[in-house]
Amino acid sequence: MRLILLCLIFFTLPVLAQDSIVFGVHSNTAPLEWRNNGVDQGFNVELMNRIGQLTNTRIIVRRKSFQQLLNDVHNPNSDIDVIAVVSPVNMDRQLAQSDPIYATHAKAYTLQGKGLINNWADLVGKRVAIKNGAFVDVYLSDKLQKFDRVDVDLYETGFQLLIKNQVDVVIAESFVARRLLPMYPSVRSSSDALIYGAFNFVANSSKSEQMYQINEALRQLKLSGEYDQLVNKWFGTGREKVDLTSSERRIFALAIIVAIISGAGLIYTGFISASLRRKTHTLDAELIQRKRIEAEISELSQQFQSVLDGIPNGVTIVNQDLQHLWSNDNNIYLLDSDAFYYIDNDVFVLKTAVLNVLFSQKSLIADMRYQQQFWQLQIHPIAQEQVVILLEESTEQHRLRQANEEASRLASLGELSAGIAHEINNPTGLIVHAVSLFSAAMKDLAPAATYYQKQNPFWLIAGLQPDIAIKELQHSCGSIEDGAKRISRIVNDLKRYAMPHIADGYTQVCLNDVVQVALRLTANQTKFYQVITQLTEQQPCITGDAQQLQQVVINLIQNACNACTEQQGIIEIETSIDGATAILSITDNGCGMNSATLKRITEPFFTTRRHEGGSGLGLSVCSKIIKEHQGEMQMLSSVGKGTRIRLTFALAKE
């Protein structure tokens, strides 16, 4: 017996000699600290036990209310050494305090349907429940409060007052609030985090040495990674810790209900399983046959789809409500575009076209236009309420057709011009010759008419006084001669337009010389305008015919004069060299041209000055001469702002 007592004393002495820490807990909130079947557990409890192992200290867990623990931790003679509380970020309690254990926050909670709380200003004038001694209370201790504060001992008390409409808002810590919300479904979270805090171990200031050991152990756990393992265990991502006791009760009740339903289902399954087995054999055979047929149909459908998808043209099937039943999605966007219209500029409306085809049951084939492209649209009825729409681009065919028509027209015009020029030149020559004779005769007859008038004062010529009649006849001869010369110039332009391209006689020509000659020949016309010339000091020489190029520049200068008003018109002529290109530009501040005129300005016989005697051949001939010289003509014009014509030629090789 004595030996047994000695052994007991021997083994219990180390335990009695070991230091102990009384850890006060109060929470029923998972996963921090709660009691399940009489056992205290949770993150705080397990962390403190691990600290006790590292400091060779026995941890004694003692449960009290939160207010009791607050009073005890401020009493150096109490039986509680350490508690875990939340402190606001950057605010320490007037106690010995550890490093932060885990972050948390507090936010506002109101009844369902109440307005949200966006900031502290939204609490002004409201009744707000604050838990005594909690970190919300500590945070507000030195701040001006513009709301009516209602002190409570527990957050749950605040929720109860909220339901009774005795407070308007409860500011509660998030972990506790999440546990309470399922029990109070009429309460909801109404704000983002208003206060950020952290869990800490705190103790009376007299136990600062003990808190120092706890802090060292806590830091050791963080450095070793064991702290992170505990955090993952209790706060792991995707896992919400719950009150295990209440959960077990709910799960047990649910298990009983599931068991009853399962038993009934098992009995019912027994009745129908026999008939299902009989039908299974029949269904299996039918399923095999159906799968084989579906595979054949699927293969055929894929082949058909591949063929249609490979077609570059758009193919779409729609019904009368414009629902797309099938499409290969090629160019289908055109059908709904506002820029897609008939080639004669009529507006295209898809619904109207589809309904017309369905009503008449006749196909629609039309040429369409989209921006700079041309398309052929076909709509064919294939059912009572369905049509197939085919879209095919025909831009190249349209351009080829236009080029062919233009070539035919120009060939006919060339033949016609040659014939007309030949037929007109002969009578024009006779007119010019006769008018010259009449002009010379009038000069010789003038003295005789004067002499005869003195002999016969009442003598009249065509009802006019002889001297007046002579002047009118001389003026008429001049007018006839000018008209004949104009006819001759038009005939020469026609002959030049129809003349085949001959480049064998081209020589090296300087554009500066061409401009100076053209200015001398048009000096009588340009004297009423301000002409500015900027000719490059380099020699912009090209290969060509100087007389033809002078004709082009003269024509462009005359057109600029006709577009400008006298005394206010400004004409700028400039030559330059850009790389291997010689550039000649003529700019005026005249009336300008609209886009429709610009498109037709080089067409033969098109003119905006027909009432002033314009033939419409000037720019046509100029355009042909420039093309024969392998040059380009660019025209920029705005109505009321003027016109700029830019000619570019390849520089002559040395």
Q: How many CA atoms lie within 13 A of 299 on its CB side?
A: 5
For 562, counting Cβ atoms within 10 Å of its Cβ (0-12 exposed, 13-18 middle, 19+ buried), the class is middle
pLDDT reported for residue 243: 47
d(CA 228, CA 234) in angstroms, rounded, equals: 10
- The mean pLDDT value of the chain amounts to 81
Q: Which of 202, 235, 213 is nearest to 102 (CA)?
A: 235
d(CA 317, CA 602) in angstroms, rounded, equals: 45
Give 648's pLDDT tier (boundaries 50, 70, 90).
very high
Among 135-144, 174-183, 572-581, top mean pLDDT goes to 572-581
Answer for the pair 138, 93: CB distance below 8 angstroms, yes or no.
yes
| Two structure tokens written together for 47 | 């962390």
- Reported as type and span, the H/E element at residue 23 is strand 20-25
| Two structure tokens written together for 58 | 């026995």
Angstrom distances, CA of residue 532 to CA of 519, 526, 573, 575: 11, 11, 6, 12
Say whether pLDDT at 12 is over 50.
Answer: no
- List of long-range contacts for 207-214, beta carbons under 8 Å, 24+ apart: 207/76, 207/81, 207/82, 207/96, 208/96, 210/21, 210/81, 210/82, 210/96, 211/82, 211/96, 211/97, 211/98, 213/55, 213/57, 214/21, 214/51, 214/55, 214/82, 214/98
Range with lowest mean pLDDT among 34-43, 62-71, 496-505: 496-505
Q: Checking phi first, is residue 225 left (phi over 0); if not, alpha (psi -120 to 50) or beta?
A: left
Say whether pLDDT at 238 is over 50.
Answer: no
| Two structure tokens written together for 367 | 């040429």
Mean pLDDT of 241-270: 74
Give 241's pLDDT tier (boundaries 50, 70, 90).
very low
pLDDT reported for residue 82: 92
pLDDT reported for residue 9: 47
Say whether pLDDT at 259 is over 80.
Answer: yes
Say whether pLDDT at 6 is over 70.
Answer: no
Give 437's pLDDT tier (boundaries 50, 70, 90).
confident
Give percent of the chain with pLDDT exceeding 90: 14
- pLDDT tens by residue, 314-328: 788 888 788 877 787
Answer for the pair 164, 150: CB distance below 8 angstroms, yes or no.
no
The H helix count followed by the E strand count for the chain is: 17, 25
Say whether pLDDT at 312 is over 70.
Answer: no
- Helix 395-455 / helix 466-498 crossing angle, nearest 10 deg: 160
Say whether pLDDT at 16 is over 50.
Answer: no
Say whether pLDDT at 629 is over 50.
Answer: yes
DSSP E strands: which ranges in 385-494? Answer: 386-393
Answer for the pair 366, 341: CB distance below 8 angstroms, yes or no.
no
| Two structure tokens written together for 496 | 């030049």
d(CA 140, CA 212) in angstroms, rounded, equals: 28
Mean pLDDT of 216-236: 88
- pLDDT tens by residue, 103-121: 899 999 999 988 899 888 8
pLDDT reported for residue 163: 93
pLDDT reported for residue 489: 65
pLDDT reported for residue 13: 43
Answer for the pair 339, 347: CB distance below 8 angstroms, yes or no.
no
